Structure 1
Amino acid sequence: MNKMNSTLYIYDGKNLNGLKSTLNEYKFFSIAYLFHMCDTLPELSDIIAGAFDKTVIDITNLITDGNYYRIFSERYLYILSENIPDLHFCMNYKVFDKFTERFPYFFEEANTNWDFHDFEGVEEQVEPFATSNLNSNSIIYTYNEISAAKGLHEAGTLISLSDLIDQCEGISFQYNLGKISKILESQQIEYVDLSSIVRMLRLRPDLIFPFEILMHRITSIRKVKYCVEYARISDVDGIFPLCFSEKVSIDSAEDLAETVSEEPTTINIQNITTLATEICEKLRGHDAFKSDFQHNLLKFSFLNGMGERKILSIMLCGDSGIGKTQFAKFVSQVIFPGEPLIKINFGNYSTEGVLNSLIGSPLGYIGSEEGGELINKIDTSKSKVILIDEFEKATPSVYNFFYELLEDGVFTDRHGIAHNLDGYLIIFTSNMTEVMYHEKILDSLKSRFDMVYHFVGLPAEEKQRYIQNTAIDLIENLEKHFGTKVEIHKIQNELNELCEYDNLRDIKRNVEDIVFNSFLECYKQE
């Protein structure tokens, strides 16, 4: 492999802020955050595309991880370098020798910058959004009095991180993310104490990297607040330098609760608007719906942030093939790239035992150990977008289930385990007409939907544009792969006739047939 063109910045602990201040136009991330986002090579380039431009990645903890993943790590870093524009790396000087031993061909000596080792510049505060903070407030809470942590633990709101792992011995540790999720949600844990783990990591620096990944994954499950005894705060700074940008000293559990409640929640309006715009650009037509969706997504972000709204629910009715299901896919793809959409299709269920199929059978029943489809898909996808397809085929018991879920944001499965869907978007789709919707859906459930829209076919002009773009894309791909070009003007009349259809899936299939028939004639003649 060739050497990287990126710069490697070497810093010592006291000068990390100096580095961030000098490169204040860059975002700083720990390599553990990237591994949390994607820990497989085939999907990495898609996950990071456009999300990490102008970035500095700290690879210190990857080096302390030992030599266990050397080949994988090397390929991972090269993929990052090849796919992220204006990317640089940094590391603590203490691991530089080990890094050069393990990866001697990564960086040219001229591209290694030592300006921030024994740097004498002023340490400036860097905006919290520029780092891979673990929680929304990017605060590490400290306590001088053990009684403060003990009081929170006895109240059931604090748990030690060491209590969330199954075992830690030898060269690794084990944990079950599904089990951790259920503990945090069922016990309503608010604080995770790092003290015992930090003490252990001082002796086992090779475990820092996987533990940091675990912390990111825990935060993606639940917005916990991390705390540590005050005597360990300098260790936290050294072990997790990019995780926390602010420290709050707390002397009692009461003060902690008061301080947390007073912290304002920050909503990034620009990010939400950008996501909503990207989603709407993918959906053809339905302009009134798209405008309303952008407004409701922003409103939900604020209401959810203050605990007033748990789930954003959208009901879409209309004929098949006009964009209802596609919209749900677009939402998941844009907000949770690389994660599978959570899809439940009631057309696949029988009328008997449908709720058991959804959330599992009671203990003792056949199949009770398998869980329900909704639970299994939530556990295997980090997407927080759920598509409920063919909702008109659901039963009254299912209607009651969703009535309670949309009200509380939580449901309890047949084993008595609570599942928290706070922050989820649930999109219901159905072929019902407006009349059928008002006749079939209970008024109580209707009142729980944040948005209800009836999709109609695209206007002729929009359909023509869709047909033309679909044909052009296919023609270009066929020419790219097989070297034969279709002259679109020769099939234009056939394409124009497709405007009579409303179903976009049917239109796309017909476009493919028309283009391919013409392509095949040309291909045979060559």
Structure 2
Amino acid sequence: MSRYTLYTYKNRDEFETYYKEMEEKGYIISPFIFQNTKDLLEEDTENIIDISSLVQYLLVNPADVVPAINNILPADEETRFIIIESLSDKGLEIFRNHFEDKAPLYPEKNNEFIQEVAENFNPFDRFYIYSYKNDDELKSIIEYLNDKKISLVSFSQIDEHFTTHFASKEKDIFVDITSLISAIKNNSNLIYYAEKLIIENPRFKIIVQINKVEKALEHFRLILKGVKPINEILPVVVTEIEDEISVNNVVKITDLSTQGVNELIKEVSSKLFGHKKFKDQLPSAFNNFILLNRIKEKKVFSIFLLGPTGLGKTEFATLLKNQLNPHTSMVKINFGNYSSQDALNSLIGSPRGYIGSEDGELGNKLAKSKVGIILCDEFEKANSQIFNFFLELLEDGLFTDSLSREHNIDGYIIVFTSNLDESNFYKVIPTELSSRFDLVCEFSLLTEVEKRNFVSYYVDSFLEKIKKENTLDRQFTTQEIQEFKNINVNSIENIRDIRRLVIKKILK
């Protein structure tokens, strides 16, 4: 039996490039599906099969390795198998009798695989996924579909009985995969099951909450070609949804469902090391704010984090931002530069006719950011004018800049940080302002166990980034990785210093 080359692509962008090139030549890249793939290859071996989701599935279900091998036996030198780079080593290990090596699809663009366009069997055409913004928009969708007697189900409700039962009753079934995207994080082999069900049911109209769109396109790159707003297929909800998505696409915690909030808290807590007391307060604090915000009783949620530098205060705000919208910048202002007499002019702009800049830092950064998080570092260094400004901002949730432009931050979270301890905090920050903060917490030094846990997490995270960028010519051994994790950090209190030490060790 001849062994072949397994071709790799780095990410979704590279996959899209290759998909379009092959599509222009008349070929469709197919995901692996038991029996379907075997039938496809028996009919025509000149096909392209992506085994990424198959490998993820087999890592959890090793008993199915032999059936999978049997399904690809009809392949020959005219068949091309591809896989995402991050899974390629596992693919070579599982199918070691089928593949002898791997090679990148790019930059070897001159590698001729297809000479002529044959009459292909095209198993399916990729389709669009449709996005909605929040629970309110989902309610509008449900009301419209109920009125039209069209089903909307979550992915967990779909099985063979479901599709058989509705086969003769409906033309389309709307399927919300928001919860599926969340579940895939802890169970990647779900991708295989989901691909199979979606391919076998072309009547499905797939929808997802907008904050899960990027993950959906990444996980299902073989069957999804892009995203469109829900109003393109449900015109009734245009006025309720289109304006929100196209005009105000800032992602805020108040947009999330209860499940989304719980997932956000879980993710942030798992990556913020130490500070258990603070993390224990987050679930009730966030959920209470969302409730009060939705009934128009509270505009902004404010958190003031205290304690020595390098304990994760700024990192907490970054984690929140990344969980809500990792593809945008966060509004971050260092108030160490805001102690002068004209500090307020720098923040919201100079009055008309005033010599100097008319633009304010806060308004400019709000206009560029698409996430409802504001970070105010070293806030204790601000002057009294700044304190008074935030006294009103926390109450009203809006402000007017020097050019008479109104900025609405309804639904935002503002994270303030300071190196003060709790006793000095109440001496420096005026009582009328300190009483407005929703959550005040002093971060303590990490324990030895917490520092070791952080090192272990950061080593894995850093090496994964290197691997994704494919920037190294060698692989680290298990022993080397363990040596990185055993770095002595007992005498280091600052997480930034620990991070630098880990990076230095790995790069060396």
* Superposition TM-score, scaled by structure 1 size: 0.53
User: Distance between the aligned counterparts of 2:265 and 2:385, measured in 1?
Assistant: 33
Please state whether the residue corresponding to 1:383 is helix, strand or coil. coil
Aligned to 2:340: 351
Amino acid in the other structure paired with 1:345: N
Are 1:337 and 2:326 matched, yes or no?
Answer: yes
Q: How far apart are 1:515 and its partner, in Å?
A: 3.5
What are the Cα deviations for residues 423-474 of structure 1, in whole angstroms up to 9, with x where unaligned? 1100001111112201100111011100000001211111112223434555
Structure 2 residue corresponding to 1:423, chosen from 385, 406, 411: 411
Aligned to 1:44: none
Aligned to 1:84: 220
Are 1:403 and 2:391 matched, yes or no?
Answer: yes
**Is contact 1:363–1:415 with CA below 8 Å preserved after alignment?**
yes
User: Distance between the aligned counterparts of 2:368 and 2:226, measured in 1?
Assistant: 33
User: Distance between the aligned counterparts of 1:274 and 1:342, measured in 2?
Assistant: 23
**Is contact 2:174–2:205 with CA below 8 Å preserved after alignment?**
no
User: Distance between the aligned counterparts of 1:490 and 1:269, measured in 2?
Assistant: 38
**How do 1:127-526 residues align onto structure 2 when only pairs under 5 Å count?**
132=230, 216-220=245-249, 268-349=257-338, 351-369=340-358, 371-471=359-459, 474=462, 481-483=472-474, 485=476, 488=479, 492=483, 495-517=486-508
User: Distance between the aligned counterparts of 1:408 and 1:487, measured in 2?
Assistant: 55
**Is contact 1:491–1:515 with CA below 8 Å preserved after alignment?**
no
* Superposition TM-score, scaled by structure 2 size: 0.54
Q: How far apart are 1:23 and its partner, in Å?
A: 5.6
Q: How far apart are 1:335 and its partner, in Å?
A: 1.3
Please state whether the residue corresponding to 1:435 is helix, strand or coil. helix
**Is contact 1:361–1:414 with CA below 8 Å preserved after alignment?**
yes
Distance 1:57 1:24, change over 3 A: closer
What are the Cα deviations for residues 248-286 of structure 1, in whole angstroms up to 9, with x where unaligned? xxxxxxxxxxxxxxxxx9983222212222222221121
Query: How many equivalent residue pairs?
Result: 324
**Is contact 2:374–2:412 with CA below 8 Å preserved after alignment?**
yes
Amino acid in the other structure paired with 1:84: F
Aligned to 2:43: none
Distance 1:346 1:215, change over 3 A: closer
Distance 1:222 1:490, change over 3 A: closer
Structure 1 residue corresponding to 2:175, chosen from 26, 39, 48: 26
User: Distance between the aligned counterparts of 2:501 and 2:282, measured in 1?
Assistant: 31
Identity of aligned residues (%): 34
Amino acid in the other structure paired with 2:220: I
Query: Cα RMSD between the aligned structures?
Result: 4.4
User: Distance between the aligned counterparts of 1:462 and 1:282, measured in 2?
Assistant: 11
Amino acid in the other structure paired with 1:26: V
What are the Cα deviations for residues 298-349 of structure 1, in whole angstroms up to 9, with x where unaligned? 1111100000000010000111111100000010111123121110111234
Amino acid in the other structure paired with 1:512: I
User: Distance between the aligned counterparts of 2:251 and 2:283, measured in 1?
Assistant: 25
Amino acid in the other structure paired with 2:309: S
User: Distance between the aligned counterparts of 1:382 and 1:407, measured in 2?
Assistant: 22
Amino acid in the other structure paired with 1:499: N
Give unmatched runs, 5+ long, in structure 2: 1-20, 23-27, 31-123, 129-144, 153-169, 179-190, 199-203, 208-212
User: Distance between the aligned counterparts of 2:236 and 2:498, measured in 1?
Assistant: 53
Give unmatched runs, 5+ long, in structure 1: 30-48, 59-76, 92-130, 142-191, 195-211, 224-264, 518-526
Please state whether the residue corresponding to 2:230 is helix, strand or coil. coil
Distance 1:272 1:467, change over 3 A: closer
**Is contact 1:310–1:408 with CA below 8 Å preserved after alignment?**
yes
User: Distance between the aligned counterparts of 1:312 and 1:9, measured in 2?
Assistant: 39
Distance 1:459 1:367, change over 3 A: same
Distance 1:356 1:215, change over 3 A: same
**Is contact 1:277–1:294 with CA below 8 Å preserved after alignment?**
no
User: Distance between the aligned counterparts of 1:451 and 1:309, measured in 2?
Assistant: 14
Please state whether the residue corresponding to 1:498 is helix, strand or coil. coil
Q: How far apart are 1:502 and its partner, in Å?
A: 1.2
Distance 1:511 1:488, change over 3 A: farther
